[in-house]
Amino acid sequence: MCVDKTSRSLRWVVDGTVRTRLDVRFGSDELPTREGAFSVLSKSRDHVSSLYDTPMPFAMFFSGGQAVHYSPDFAATGYNGASHGCVNV
């Protein structure tokens, strides 16, 4: 998985070939998405944030509580908002 803040995209890459490209959004200036190379540490299909009491379906955690996950808010409002540091799909 390759996440790119510049193009606001996530690319799923298998053996050097991009299989899927998705639009994503990131955290705000106050709650930024961490940068670097990470591994997926755990997955949770029906996760709910214990800090923000919001759903994080299909969460793939990569750094502490930050995860790549589906966001109904991103689906509804697009880039007119931000996550709490996660990568919203």
Residues annotated as catalytic are 69, 86
- Which sign does the torsion angle of CA 74, 69, 33, 4 carry? negative
Three-state SS at 75: helix
β-pairing, 17-23 vs 42-48, is unpaired
CB atoms within 10 A of CB 58: 14
Residue whose entry in the numeric block shows the structure tokens 């969460």: 59
